[in-house]
Amino acid sequence: MSVRAQDDGRGAHAHAHEHDHDDDREHAGAGEPIALEDDPDLIVVRSVGIDIGSSTSHLIFSRIVLQRQGARLSSAFVVVDREILHRSPILLTPYSDARTIDTRALGDFVERSYAEAGLAPTDVDTGALIVTGNAALKDNAERIARAIASDAGRFVCATAGPHLESRLAAHGSGAVDRSRSGRTVVNVDIGGGTTKLAIARDGRVLETAALAVGARVVAVDAEGRVTRLEPGAQAAGRAARMRLELGSAVSPADREALAAVLCDALVSVLATRRFAGLALGLLVTEAIELPERID
């Protein structure tokens, strides 16, 4: 599922973390797929991306074609073609308690995803593992990232803070490209535990911020009892006039009230161009000034 609110005359971009897969191939230019035998400066690598978020985790396996920039007297390579080989199911990130990611369950998911892709770790040439949002704040986040990366192949491994995640989202959503013609674009990335904002203009990200608004700020079990409270949950609960504690019951009406409070806080920032009231209390970075004009 993709939830995307694009240019409605104001240039604000919003997207959620689950995506449609309408096109599993990307080319640097138009025309037929590249024939490798036609160009000795082309190399092919298999890559995997592993995203561990506070709400969901998933893997994408890709075949990437790189081309040496020989015409520019450079030894640098650029991506000229990418084909998605396999997408894993989207997993609700497992937790063993409120502060600890379930290492075994997550490791089993990664192994299963490799098997479903028909690949072994030795088949992967390169890849990236990134731990994002509130998942990066969990007690064992960095240890999990290192362990999975060491088992899964040759990896770049990172735990992303809110500013880096905001920048990645702005580039990945296309907001930065949209800003290249002099337009000011604000990208809004709604995740499981945080929402990231990025202001882009002239093809550059100028400022970023994040606040504790997300789909799983309060996690509940099948019986509706609270199993995890992310940063910002208590402040949002007070604003919704409810008391949130681990093990307490949260009714469907309570969840709707909590969601409304969080949505109002986010919308108020975009509408007024400033952080005030609950939105100010939900900030996980320093506040930024949103431009009056958003294209």
Q: Could you read off the pLDDT of 36-94 as tens digits, one per residue?
A: 556 667 889 899 999 998 888 999 999 999 887 766 556 778 888 889 999 999 999 99
Q: Computed from CA positions of residues 58, 219, 193, 246, in that sequence, does the dihedral angle turn out positive or negative?
A: negative
Task: Output the pLDDT for position 25.
Answer: 59
Task: Output the pLDDT for position 9.
Answer: 38
Taken in order of first residue, the domains within the chain and their CATH numbers are 32-160 (3.30.420.40), 163-281 (no CATH)
* H helical segments located in the chain: 103-117, 141-152, 162-173, 175-178, 233-239, 252-272, 278-281
Quote the DSSP letter at residue 241: T
Task: Output the pLDDT for position 285.
Answer: 92
Q: Could you read off the pLDDT of 271-284 as tens digits, one per residue?
A: 999 999 999 999 99
Task: Output the pLDDT for position 76.
Answer: 79
Dist CA 61 CA 47 (whole Å): 6
Spans of the chain below 70 pLDDT: 1-40, 70-74, 151-153, 156-159
Phi-psi map region of 148: left, alpha, beta (phi>0 left; psi -120 to 50 alpha): alpha
Task: Output the pLDDT for position 117.
Answer: 95
Task: Output the pLDDT for position 279.
Answer: 94
Q: Which amino acid is at 220?
A: V
Task: Output the pLDDT for position 145.
Answer: 79
- Render 162-203 in DSSP notation, one character per residue: HHHHHHHHHHHHTHHHHTTTS-EEEEEEE-SS-EEEEEEETT
Task: Output the pLDDT for position 208.
Answer: 96
Pairing of strands 77-87, 126-131: unpaired
